[in-house]
Amino acid sequence: MLSAAEAQILSTSFSVASLALLWSLPLAIACAFLLARQFPGKFLLDGLVHLPIILPPVLTGFLLLLLFGRNGPIGHWLEQVAGIHVAFTRQGAALATAVMIFPMLVRASRIAFEALDPRLLEAAAVLRAGPLDRFFSIALPLAGPGILAGAVTAFAAGMGEFGAVITFAANIPGETQTLPLAIYAVLQQPGGESEAMRLAGLSFTLAMSGLIGAEFLQRWMTRRLKG
């Protein structure tokens, strides 16, 4: 059904999206929890979180190059300390994807946290649960369905990131060539349309499965959680 090249593209996409989700989700949950309450300077964090949506993806990729490129401050440090190259690698593609799906993850988690009844956290506090304990024992499990649904959607979206990934990680088959990058590559070749159609169909199917999967997962978990 799938050619070896297509299987490789698919596997690259999965691997990039998985890594991106793994890196992005914990930070997104922490940001969302903060943003669901009031604190000074909230609008600044709120703006910063949404930056990847507003900026052209190419610019996000370029900013990542400036920071994480071999001569960028973080990239240089990583190379000196750990010998890690990020730009133009699988990890780089994942990093660019992580940045791009971050706002989506924060948004889903924030809605889930805002729907949480703060009086339950008060009840936990008078049962001797400290702030961190309350977060892990009450807030996170109750916000879980919303966060997980957001994560599945973000995963599906992450497999389709283009602008930031190609700018920061380039289009290297087997390393950084995800589905949309492969579609772009075959379209550059004469007669590549039919292969592009196959890949597009694949991409579309994955995206739809992600959306539908997220919806079902959320319903099922909410039912389980709320009895």
Partner 1 sequence: MNPLDIDIRLTRGAFRLEAKIRAPGDGITVVFGPSGSGKSSLLSAIAGLAPCEGHVRLGREVLGDSAVDLHMPPNERGIGMVFQDARLFPHLTARQNIAYAFKRSPAHKRRDIGEVARFFDIAALLDRPVNNLSGGEKSRVALARALVAAPDFLLLDEPFAALDGLRRRAFIQVLLDMHARFALPMLVVTHNIDDAAALASYLVALRDGQVAAAGPFDQATREPGFAALLDPRDSGAAASGILLHSGAETGQKYLWLRADHIVLATERPVAISARNILEGEVESVRAEQDGSRLVELKTSVGVILSRVTEEAVAELGLTPGRRAWALVKVHALQH
| Binding test (CB under 8 A) with partner 1, winner from 37, 53, 133, 220 | 133
Q: Which stretch binds partner 1 (CB under 8 A): 77-85, 103-111, 156-164, 219-227?
A: 219-227
Q: How far is CA 148 from CA 27, 143, 166, 225, in A?
A: 14, 9, 27, 13
Q: Does 223 bind partner 1 (CB under 8 A)?
A: no
Q: Does 217 bind partner 1 (CB under 8 A)?
A: no
**What DSSP state is assigned to residue 72?**
S
Min dist CB 137 to partner 1, Å, is: 7
Answer for the pair 91, 176: CB distance below 8 angstroms, yes or no: no
Q: Does 114 bind partner 1 (CB under 8 A)?
A: no
Q: Does 40 bind partner 1 (CB under 8 A)?
A: no
Min dist CB 120 to partner 1, Å, is: 6
Number of residues in contact with partner 1 under rule CB under 8 A: 20
Q: Does 129 bind partner 1 (CB under 8 A)?
A: yes
Answer for the pair 88, 169: CB distance below 8 angstroms, yes or no: yes
| Binding test (CB under 8 A) with partner 1, winner from 35, 101, 142, 169 | 142
Q: Does 83 bind partner 1 (CB under 8 A)?
A: no
Looking at the chain, list the stretches that DSSP marks H as alpha helix, in order from N- to C-terminal side: 4-35, 42-54, 57-68, 73-82, 90-114, 118-125, 131-134, 140-158, 163-169, 179-188, 193-226
Dihedral sign, CA of 189, 174, 155, 82?
Answer: negative
Q: Does 119 bind partner 1 (CB under 8 A)?
A: yes
d(CA 124, CA 223): 22
Min dist CB 145 to partner 1, Å, is: 10
| Binding test (CB under 8 A) with partner 1, winner from 114, 137, 184, 187 | 137
